[in-house]
Chain A
């Protein structure tokens, strides 16, 4: 259990949020051109990092907006929070 600082609402309990998984996985621009390997990479393969991970969260029981979080998955410590479309911070 930890607190997340929603960029729109401020600090709230993690239970108000829904995790959206790894961030910055770019949706293919030409899906029909993709090989099976590329589809697998896009749909299923994940870095699943132990350490600092960039991920998406949704304030499901609050403003319902999506944003990005940089979190250390080994101890759940949050390093940074930034809005969708913003440049990811260097950690």
Chain B
């Protein structure tokens, strides 16, 4: 069913009826007996996968099953940073593909995802950081990704509230800037893709937890869920922190560890920081939301946990670094703190891949940085499922790389350590 187009006129029209008559953005269907493709996981990546399967691959009989509500997992828990300044060619290709889709996503979906290209700055605090970041800048530019290296003075000019005094524990020696990078409204991404997918006939089935993967002769036949058996020949698993749990149902082991990653936001204040600043060495990153809250990302705990809460000292360490770099925040009060479960690969790169079970595909291992890739990940995973082979941009991110040894080692090269 065609959706009413969102526009300034629809906003005015609905204002007259006190915004009580907006059309539902997606249906709440009962699961059918059988689908051509089932996506497990109704986060941004899963909904984007369903959207592109319907839009670009002419598949219409698709379901997204979600154990909770859509966008209630890591999609609604991340710090919304988007960038593509990765070192290796494979990663640069993957993340810049996503960034290019981001640039036109609100128009494509007719849904304001509030994509804001406010720039992302990565700071250097020691000589090795300086060398690494300069090297990364060169690598980015060779891959056609915008990147500039800034000295301390230029960092201060771009973001005046940073303490660039040489006296602090880890002084700012410079940094990189990707101007095309920025942030987006995370919930809107899930909702926009859900609305778009729903319009093309995708069934979005919430409160439907997968309990088993039915197989026969090395091929998938369907899924057992809390809402009954649903038959299908193709399953795309996009379950983030719970990927290993689903893999286990199919007798597979993945090279993943699921760990808590925390974030926190402050009370809302007037605009004070109009960009995103990340620092790998001291592990702190901060931006300001449109509501005025500082959005701060902490690190992962080092143990496996599915409890969606992390350790206090992780937050404490991050805030120590934040206060050293931004003394102006010393009296800010933090309003909320939460955790999400991130699935981390040994090489800190994602898996977007077929498996040795026919019809079973995995899109996982995005670790601490999956949000930025949402549109590209969905697009490439849809291609992989529809054609039963990867797109050239995600070919390097296959599951077989852990056997061949051809890893995409972004550990040291990513902007923030995992």
Q: Hey, which bits of chain A sit against chain B, CB under 8 A?
A: 1, 14-15, 18-19, 21-22, 36-37, 39-41, 43-50, 53, 55, 73-76
Q: List 6 A-B contacts (CB under 8 A).
A: A41-B253, A45-B254, A47-B248, A49-B248, A55-B303, A73-B258
Which residues of the partner chain B approach A18 to less than 8 Å between Cβ atoms?
Answer: 302
Contact of B304 among A15, A73, A75 (CB under 8 A): A73
12 more A-B residue pairs beyond the given contacts A46-B257, A73-B307, with a C-beta to C-beta distance below 8 A: A19-B301, A19-B302, A37-B403, A44-B402, A46-B253, A46-B255, A47-B248, A48-B256, A48-B257, A50-B242, A55-B304, A74-B306
Instruction: Check A1 against B312 for contact (C-beta < 8 Å).
Output: yes
Which residues of the partner chain A approach B305 to less than 8 Å between Cβ atoms?
Answer: 73, 76
Contact of A46 among B242, B256, B303, B311 (CB under 8 A): B256
Which residues of the partner chain B approach A22 to less than 8 Å between Cβ atoms?
Answer: 304
User: Could you tell me how many residues of chain B have their Cβ less than 8 Å away from some Cβ of chain A?
Assistant: 27
Q: Find residues 245-260 in chain B having any chain A CB closer than 8 Å to their own CB.
A: 245, 248, 253-258
Say if the beta carbon of B313 comes within 8 Å of chain A: yes
Contact of B306 among A15, A21, A73 (CB under 8 A): A73
CA separation between A46 and B343, bound complex, in Å? 12
**Smallest CB–CB gap between B235 and chain A, Å?**
19
Which residues of the partner chain A approach B257 to less than 8 Å between Cβ atoms?
Answer: 21, 46, 48
Which residues of the partner chain A approach B304 to less than 8 Å between Cβ atoms?
Answer: 19, 21-22, 48-49, 53, 55, 73
CA separation between A36 and B404, bound complex, in Å? 7
8 smallest beta-carbon distances between A and B, as pairs: A19-B303, A48-B244, A44-B255, A45-B253, A40-B403, A44-B402, A19-B302, A15-B313
Say if the beta carbon of B346 comes within 8 Å of chain A: yes
Instruction: Check A44 against B346 for contact (C-beta < 8 Å).
Output: yes
Q: Find residues 273-331 in chain B having any chain A CB closer than 8 Å to their own CB.
A: 301-307, 310-313
Instruction: Check A47 against B244 for contact (C-beta < 8 Å).
Output: yes
> Number of residue pairs across A and B with beta carbons under 8 Å?
72
Which residues of the partner chain B approach A41 to less than 8 Å between Cβ atoms?
Answer: 253
Which residues of the partner chain A approach B402 to less than 8 Å between Cβ atoms?
Answer: 40, 43-45
Instruction: Check B302 against A48 for contact (C-beta < 8 Å).
Output: no
Instruction: Check B255 against A45 for contact (C-beta < 8 Å).
Output: yes
Contact of B346 among A15, A36, A39, A43 (CB under 8 A): A43
CA separation between A33 and B311, bound complex, in Å? 42
Instruction: Check A36 against B403 for contact (C-beta < 8 Å).
Output: yes
CA separation between A76 and B304, bound complex, in Å? 9
CA separation between A41 and B256, bound complex, in Å? 12
Determine the residue in chain B with the shortest Cβ distance to A35. Answer: B403
Which residues of the partner chain B approach A36 to less than 8 Å between Cβ atoms?
Answer: 403-405
